[in-house]
Amino acid sequence: MRKKTVVPIILVAFVLTLVGCNHETTVTQDIVDKTVAVNSFHPKDYPNKIEVSSTLDFAKIYQNVDELYEDSQNVVYGKVKEIAYIDDSGAAITSYKFLIENSYKGSLKENDMISVLAVGGYVRLQKFIEVFGDAKFKDYSESKRNQTVIQENVMGAPLPQENEKYLLFLSDPIKDESPLPDGAYSEIGAFMGRYYDKGNARNGNTLSRYVPKDEPDFYGGENENYSLSKFENILQKK
């Protein structure tokens, strides 16, 4: 049986508080565009914004890179090139174009440009009402509903940003999981499968992942940081 892509179901629990060299890798080869088209919108087109708190129903807490590596089909390092927001399912999802600099598992290669889906982002209020109903928004006029967007940071996790560099643990390409776009990849375990490069991991700085602020022991005390060289040494033993 084909394993379904892990895109955690958002429990919409609203809180309407209404190496050794000092340079980065330069990609010199031609980019292979494997991105997919998405039905996106721009949050700035909506004058009203609601900030939302939500949680996730996790099937598994990934305590370390060994567990992430085992359950992922692709492991890659690279840079975010472009951001888009989609809400076809009624949930907020960020779609970002990601240019791969290193591939550590799977068939993806250096200079491949792929589309990655991350839980969290923005959802149009009208789309949310269409999917989940208007119980919380009965007093909103039709005009206000059409002019409102919901911003959602799942468990406080930051949204992907252009030019940030990540080490990602990813699914296989999505196939036949409408309304998610075929050919896109999803992060394993939501924010658990995304390590941030806040400096220059190639020069010994660390890759780290988000820890929910109100759950400092979310990973069971095993949330270790890695340099790229340390991570590559771990892979050599697999």
More reliable by pLDDT, 143 or 52:
143
Joined tokens for residue 70: 């085992």
Express each pLDDT in 56-70 by its tens digit: 888 899 998 999 999
Q: Which of 49, 131, 118 is nearest to 90 (CA)?
A: 131
Higher pLDDT, 224 or 71: 71
Q: Is the pLDDT of residue 150 over 90?
A: yes
Q: What is the pLDDT of residues 15-47, one digit of tens each?
A: 333 433 344 444 457 999 999 999 999 999 999
- Domain limits of the chain? 10-236
Alpha-carbon torsion, ordered 201, 103, 193, 97, to 10 deg? 90
- Is residue 2 scored above 50 in pLDDT? no
pLDDT higher than 70, residue 131? yes
Give 3-state DSSP helix, strand, coil % of the chain, rounded to 5. 15, 30, 50
pLDDT value for 199 = 79
Return the number of other C-beta atoms located less than 10 Å from residue 221's C-beta: 9
More confident residue, 231 or 98: 98
Distances (CA, A) of 230 to 107, 108, 194, 238: 22, 21, 17, 13
H or E segment at 126? Answer: helix 125-132
pLDDT at 8 over 60: no
Q: What is the pLDDT of residue 28?
A: 52
Residues near 34 by beta carbon (within 8 Å), at least 6 away in sequence: 108, 112, 113, 114, 115, 183
CA distance 173 to 175: 6
- Average pLDDT over the chain reads 87
In the predicted structure, residue 72 carries a pLDDT above the cut 50 = yes
> Which range, of 112-121, 152-161, 220-229, averages the lowest pLDDT?
220-229
CA distances from 187 to 43, 55, 162 (A): 23, 16, 17
* Cα atoms found within 13 Å of the Cα of residue 175, Cβ hemisphere only: 5
Residue that wins the pLDDT comparison between 184 and 234: 184
Of 68, 69, 42, the residue nearest 189 (C-alpha): 68
Q: 192-219, pLDDT tens digit by residue?
A: 999 999 877 777 778 999 999 889 899 9
Residue-level pLDDT at 22: 42
CATH entry 2.40.110.10 includes domain 10-236: no
